[in-house]
Homo-oligomer: A and B are copies of this chain.
Amino acid sequence: MKSKGAQFAYEGLDRVIHERARLSVLTSLVSHPKGLTFVDLKELCALTDGNLSRHLRVLEEAKLVEILKGQDGNRPQTLCRLTSTGRKRFLAYLETLEQVVRDAAAAVETKQAVSSTKRLVPVQP
């Protein structure tokens, strides 16, 4: 094999974001820019209370997500929202993720003109 360096290293797959449950949470939040309640997130991601809490704590400590405590009528409500840092880092992560799909797709179906396929994730400014 001709040396091509670390062609498949994918350094951009940020471990804070890549973990499956957190990827699920972040994709939910990027799809809901106004934020989601804890209860909605739990349902969308099929996570338990404990798991969601644990992963939200990791995301909050990394400043990717902000947690706002509020009220819905008389009941306390937790709102989760992507921060602007979170959005930026998630988009950077997505570019690498798309590269993985692109590399793998090129390998499994070389007949398809994969390299000419249009980008799914817009390039960041």
Whether the pair B104, A6 counts as a contact (CB closer than 8 A) is no
Whether the pair B94, A97 counts as a contact (CB closer than 8 A) is no
A44, chain B: closest CB distance, angstroms? 5
- Residue on B nearest A95 in the bound complex, by CB: B101
Report, as a range, how many residues of chain A touch the other chain: 35 or more
Distance, CA A98 to CA B100, complexed state (A)? 9
> Within 8 Å of chain B (Cβ to Cβ): is A76?
no
Residue positions of A touching B, CB distance < 8 A: 1, 3-11, 13, 15, 18, 20, 23-25, 27-28, 30-32, 36-37, 40, 43-47, 90-91, 94, 97-98, 100-109, 112, 114, 117-118, 120-122
A109, chain B: closest CB distance, angstroms? 5
A117, chain B: closest CB distance, angstroms? 6
Residues in chain B near residue A100, CB distance under 8 A: 23, 27, 97
Given contacts A108-B91, A114-B120, contact A103 B20 (CB under 8 A): no
